[in-house]
Amino acid sequence: MMVFVTGGVRSGKSSWAERFCIERAKQKMSPVHYVATSAIVDSEMEQRILLHQKRRVQSGIEWKTIEQQQHIREVTAHLTGDEIVLIDCLTNLVNNEMFADMRTYEQIEYQDELIRSIAKELHEIDQASDTLVIVSNELAFDTNRFPMVHSFIRVLNKLHQHLVHHSTLSVMMEAGIPIWKKGVWHERIDDSRDGF
């Protein structure tokens, strides 16, 4: 099962996705893997990562963390078929892959191949696990004048369309509230908040 969770910055998407994984793991008695795609680039990012780590430690579930900033298919080497896998987040993964070589990111052929490649790798993880939860950001609802940003949004939005099409469940988070875009999850998700 593939679950796609998106929303704006600080919309609550990561905490909701973590709670979904916790409830799913309790139901299935499955191990949970957290795939971290972010690099620590500044003190704000470091604080956000520490907050996420603290939340997972306090969840009562054992999480195995996999650091994978590029080449996401390598996650499959850690899987046996019964895991709940949370990738947080697709936005960072696309950034890491797309701008690894600054000479190619504007080429449409390169962008289209990147979309195909990342989509294929995510499907491989989906096939190798019980449940794959993918978190991503809604960066813009229209085009941007800067070529680099426009190219990035194009790739990310095309991937979003593909993942929503192939997902079982798709949720957009807004102010901490899940808005169901595809499918409905009838199981209870603990909505307790950690505060600010």
Parallel, antiparallel or unpaired: strands 63-67 and 177-182: unpaired
Question: 106: closest CA among 49, 161, 61, 146?
Answer: 146
Dist CA 6 CA 22 (whole Å): 18
* pTM of the predicted protein model: 0.89
Strand order in the sheet with 32-36: 63-67, 32-36, 84-88, 131-137, 2-7, 169-174, 177-182
- Is 165 a catalytic site residue? no
* CB-facing half-sphere around the CA of 14: CA atoms within 13 A: 21
- CB 12, CB 179: distance < 8 Å: no
Of 194 and 168, the structure prediction assigns the larger pLDDT to: 168
For the segment 138-166, the average pLDDT, to the nearest whole number, is 88
Confidence class of residue 51 from pLDDT cuts 50, 70 and 90? confident
Question: 89: closest CA among 182, 178, 5?
Answer: 5
What string of DSSP letters covers 18-47?
Answer: HHHHHHHHHHHT--EEEEE-----SHHHHH
- Condensed to tens digits (0 to 9), the pLDDT of residues 7-48 reads 998 899 999 999 999 999 999 999 999 999 987 666 776 677
User: What integer pLDDT is reported at residue 142 of this predicted model?
Assistant: 63
For the segment 62-83, the average pLDDT, to the nearest whole number, is 95
Parallel, antiparallel or unpaired: strands 169-174 and 177-182: antiparallel
In the set 33, 52, 78, 165, the catalytic residue is 52
pLDDT at 193 over 60: no
Confidence class of residue 96 from pLDDT cuts 50, 70 and 90? very high
Confidence class of residue 196 from pLDDT cuts 50, 70 and 90? very low
DSSP-assigned letter for residue 78: G
For the segment 59-77, the average pLDDT, to the nearest whole number, is 92
